[in-house]
Each structure stands twice: as structure tokens, then as C-alpha cells.
Amino acid sequence: MATNIRGELATESNLRVLEALPAFQAEDDLPQKLRRLLDRLEAAERTQPHPKP
């Protein structure tokens, strides 16, 4: 069941909706080092293939 839920959350449409929610956005006043790490994480996530449900 966890695999099914994870697969549903990772669909393109859900990712777009979740990324737009304020709870999933970083604060603008983050320290520069943390901002760079988050940028690297986002770039790495974009290059990973999304699992098929």
C-alpha cells in the first residue's frame, strides 16, 4: 500500500500541485549555504526518473 501511495504522490500532476503549496516552498530568507544545498537537491531530483505507479 505504501508503494501505491508513494507512486500516486510522485505523479507529474501531483508534483506540480504540491510544489505550488506554501508548505513545500523554502523561505526567501534562508542562509545562502542552505539555499545552495536546496538548489542542488532540486536539480538532482529533476534528473531522476519518476517511478511508474
Model confidence pLDDT, tens digit, residues 27-37: 778 889 988 99
Q: Is the pTM of this model over 0.85?
A: no
Please give the torsion angle defined by the CA atoms of residues 32, 34, 37 and 39, in that order, rounded to the nearest 10 degrees: -70
The answer to whether 53 touches 4, Cβ cutoff 8 Å, is: yes
pLDDT of residue 26: 66
Interatomic CA distance for residues 47 and 44, integer angstroms: 5
Query: Mean per-residue pLDDT for 5-25?
Result: 77
Check: CB of residue 4 under 8 Å from CB of residue 13: no
Amino acid identity, position 46? R
CB 14 within 8 A of CB 8: yes
Residue 15 pLDDT > 90, yes or no? no
